[in-house]
Structure 1
Amino acid sequence: MSDTINSTKFLGAGLVYIRNQSGNYADAFVSKLSHDSGSDYWFSVPTSFDDPGAKWDRSDHDWEVIGFKDEGGKQVGFYVDLEKFTTYVTVHTVSQSGIQIVQVGP
């Protein structure tokens, strides 16, 4: 299934789209350290940016942690500046090198 959301397009500052292309189960969260809005609970990562569960709205936020864990409990996280970007995250494996983060500015 291909995404209809163009992952090279700026859709708004602080928007984060996360998809799982690994073929294995993965959870994700986006912190709310810089602004107390939204949920920072773990959620199952959908396979497509088009899935409503793939979108995290962190407008008015600055730096946040985007974290991942697999079904075996392995975890990895990234401290990312969300303030001026739409951020697209693709999970290939839950590892430092297996997460692709692309940020698109206005």
Structure 2
Amino acid sequence: MSGPYSYPSYEASKAALGRFARSVARENAPHGIRANVILPGVIDTPHVRRFIDAETPPEALDRKRAALVPMGRQGTAWDVANAALYLASDEAAFVSGIELRVDGAMSA
């Protein structure tokens, strides 16, 4: 679980969220409260595009970012939203304390 560059504080905070979710899940399970973490990979969002070099053609950058992902494409906000919807649904009623990676197999 790491970011695209070496950002120790970013990576540490992501790791801490997983531990936090497990602790919260364990403590609150008797009350029917679940806690999970979604860990997105390379996701194409307007926020990410703000940091892109303006001189690089968007198509070239999209290909470069997609090449980082074993599934061959960048994720979308819908991919992350669908993971959140699953975790919030009745189908995930017995799912708690997990880190759900939505990263196209980058962390596999």
Give the shorter-chain TM-score range: under 0.3
The normalised TM-score by structure 2 is 0.27
TM-score between both structures, scaled by the size of structure 1: 0.27
Please identify which structure carries the higher strand content. Answer: 1
Higher normalized helix content (fraction of residues): 2
